[in-house]
Amino acid sequence: DSGVTQTPKHLITATGQRVTLRCSPRSGDLSVYWYQQSLDQGLQFLIQYYNGEERAKGNILERFSAQQFPDLHSELNLSSLELGDSALYFCASSIRGVDEQFFGPGTRLTVL
């Protein structure tokens, strides 16, 4: 158990819908990262937050957004969902910005 929690574990929804994925980092970790894992793209970095502020952005679609709240938990919002958004979404956390990252169990999103 890494100490990073993600909810829900599974999510099934329809195209065009909007979903919110939630992540609670390890106690004391200030940085939160979101990654997407799909069969065709592999593991891709989406976005990083550090102590509530956006720090780095990867290939995150404009339909996707994230935020980190004062209690340091983070949410990833995916809207206007398409079939291709079906993937495993991981959250990771680290103490600062330059550290090993600890991964949560992931949320498996299926878009039908």
Partner 1 sequence: AQSVTQPDIHITVSEGASLELRCNYSYGATPYLFWYVQSPGQGLQLLLKYFSGDTLVQGIKGFEAEFKRSQSSFNLRKPSVHWSDAAEYFCAVGGMEYGNKLVFGAGTILRVKS
**Using CB under 8 A, which of the segments 13-21, 54-62, 69-77, 79-87 binds partner 1?**
54-62
Residue 45: strand pairing partners: 35
β-pairing verdict for 107-111 and 10-13: parallel
Mind giving me the DSSP string for 4-26? -EEE-SEEEE-TT--EEEEEEPP
With CB under 8 A as the contact rule, the residue among 19, 21, 25, 48 that binds partner 1 is: 48
List the interface residues with partner 1, window 76-95 (CB under 8 A).
90, 92, 94
Phi, psi of 10 (to 5 degrees): -130, 145
Give whichever of 31 and 74 is closer to partner 1, judged by the CB atom: 31
Task: Provide the binding-site residues for partner 1, judged by CB under 8 A.
Answer: 2, 4, 31, 33, 35, 42-45, 48, 55-56, 58, 90, 92, 94, 97-106
